[in-house]
């Protein structure tokens, strides 16, 4: 074996070993809609594009999406366990997986999924989400008169004195 072939072989073996050691990868939720978390061992439904039913029969709203990579030995239960922490942290009722994009690496098959985390909308949302939605729907305050001066101030705490707004004369 030549001097060049030996490092290449070691590198190739290392890549295969790491691919076998990491059956799936999940990422922390980012850009997800705000929703209360559930306990770490929460229950949620899983729907896959290749299995029936592939979509929930109930109406739903998508909280966020991310990618999941796995190998050919990761079954439906393995995918569910790999997604559990993210689904529970996001507060999802259901997880919807796309058809996998498969790519080969030697004898290894890597499957990549687009994953959508969703909540069912046929039940009322949690109180804190409902309050936030209602606050967003409230009408804006009436317009100020042109001779009012707005003084920026930090958030007022009940234990502190307030600031005064003086009307221009």
Q: Convert the pLDDT of each residue in 3-57 to its tens digit.
A: 555 444 444 444 444 444 344 444 444 578 888 889 999 999 999 887 788 889 9
Number of other residues whose CB lies within 10 A of the CB of residue 63: 21
Mean pLDDT, the chain, integer: 75
Inter-CA distances, 123 with 43, 79, 130, 154, 159, Å: 16, 27, 12, 38, 39
Q: Convert the pLDDT of each residue in 29-41 to its tens digit.
A: 457 888 888 999 9
Pairwise CA distance, residues 40 & 69, whole Å: 21
Record the pTM.
Answer: 0.60
Q: Convert the pLDDT of each residue in 79-99 to its tens digit.
A: 899 999 999 999 999 999 998
Confidence band, pLDDT 50/70/90 cuts, at residue 155: low
Q: What is the pLDDT of residue 162?
A: 54
What b/e string do you get for 64-99 counting C-beta neighbours within 10 Å, with b at 16 or more?
bbbebbbbeebeeeebbebbbebbbbbbbbbbbbbe
Q: What is the pLDDT of residue 71?
A: 81
Pairwise CA distance, residues 56 & 126, whole Å: 20
Q: Convert the pLDDT of each residue in 63-82 to its tens digit.
A: 999 998 888 788 888 889 99
């Amino acid at each position: 074996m030549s001097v060049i072939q030996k490092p290449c072989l070691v590198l190739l073996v290392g890549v295969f070993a790491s691919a076998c050691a990491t059956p799936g990868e999940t990422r922390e939720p980012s850009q997800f809609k705000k929703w209360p978390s559930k306990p770490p061992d929460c229950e949620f439904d899983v729907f896959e594009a290749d299995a029936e039913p592939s979509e929930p029969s109930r109406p739903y709203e998508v909280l966020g999406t991310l990618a999941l990579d796995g190998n050919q030995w990761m079954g439906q239960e393995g995918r569910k366990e790999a997604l559990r922490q993210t689904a529970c942290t996001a507060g999802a009722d259901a997880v919807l997986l796309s058809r996998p994009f498969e790519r080969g690496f030697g004898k290894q098959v890597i499957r990549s999924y687009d994953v959508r985390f969703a909540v069912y909308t046929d039940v009322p949302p949690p109180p804190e989400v409902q309050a936030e939605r209602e606050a967003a729907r409230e009408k804006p305050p009436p317009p100020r008169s042109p001779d009012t001066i707005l003084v920026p101030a930090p958030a007022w705490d009940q234990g502190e004195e307030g600031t005064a707004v003086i009307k221009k004369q």
